[in-house]
Amino acid sequence: MLLAATAILCPLLCGCRLMVAAGKMVMGDPLNTSAFEFQTGTNLGESGEKLLIICSAPHGTLLKFPSVQLDIVDRITLHLKSRDIQVVSSDDVATWYDDNGEWGDYSELAKHFDARYVLHVELRTFSFQEPSSPGLMRGRSEGTVTVYRFGEQDSGLREAIFEQNLRVKFPETYPVPRESNSEDTFVENLLDRISLQVSQMLYDHRLTDTMH
């Protein structure tokens, strides 16, 4: 009985896969609505409004990775600009941070750069050492992604309109031996992964490109 059911089910499953593949060939890989648009009803690319990106991390993380904040801002900026989202230059943001030593008041930032939205990536953890395994590397990072919307520049009104938890484990399946990858290269790949995962919260993307 089981063999008979399996014999019937296998062609059906294969047929379903073929239908999905054929559907993609005809219709294309469908776009997945971004979490930001789903939650707020706003498509950042179509709105034409300017977005400013900042990143913060704990003092202990900055001691080990001094440039992590600006590295993530730069990477997210590139991703969003490639999707026609108006983003304040990461170089200008870096200059602001260098001059002030901190991000300061978000409303002051928004007013200075004439930005309607401020994206704040708050990293609570950032590491690449596999626990209890000094010969292995696996990146982990947790935090919060928040978008604030500002009213008229003179009003200084700020409203948090979007918030999502950020959890990254890279690679997902198994850690990487140290002898197969340098620490610097691995950290660069981890930063890329975090930045893409954050960016995909803000723009529509193909289902096959979704980061888990």
The SS3 assignment for 21 reads helix
Q: How far lies 123's CA from each of 63, 81, 117, 147, in Å?
A: 14, 22, 19, 14
Cβ contacts of residue 116 below 8 Å, gap of 6+?
Answer: 49, 50, 51, 110, 149, 150
C-alpha span between 60 and 39 (Å, rounded): 33
| Among 128, 125, 162, residue whose Cα is nearest residue 40 | 162
The pLDDT score that the predictor gives to residue 157 is 73
Q: What is the pLDDT at residue 154?
A: 57
Q: How far apart are CA 125 and CA 145, in angstroms?
A: 13
Please tell me the predicted confidence (pLDDT) of residue 84.
95
Provide the residue-wise pLDDT of the chain in tens; the chain has 212 residues.
444 444 444 444 444 444 444 444 445 667 889 999 999 999 999 999 999 999 999 999 999 999 999 999 999 999 999 999 999 999 998 898 888 888 877 888 888 899 999 999 999 999 999 988 989 999 999 999 999 999 765 556 788 999 999 999 999 889 999 998 899 999 999 999 999 999 999 999 876 665 54
pLDDT of residue 41: 95
pLDDT of the residue at 106: 84
| Element housing 142 (H / E) | strand 136-150
Task: Tell me which fold the domain 33-209 belongs to.
Answer: Rossmann fold (3.40.50)
| Domain ranges across the chain | 1-28, 33-209
Query: DSSP class of residue 102?
Result: S
Length of the chain: 212
Question: 3-state DSSP: the chain helix, strand, coil percent, rounded to 5?
Answer: 45, 25, 30
pTM above 0.85, yes or no: no
Beta bridge partners of residue 205, listed in sequence order? 32
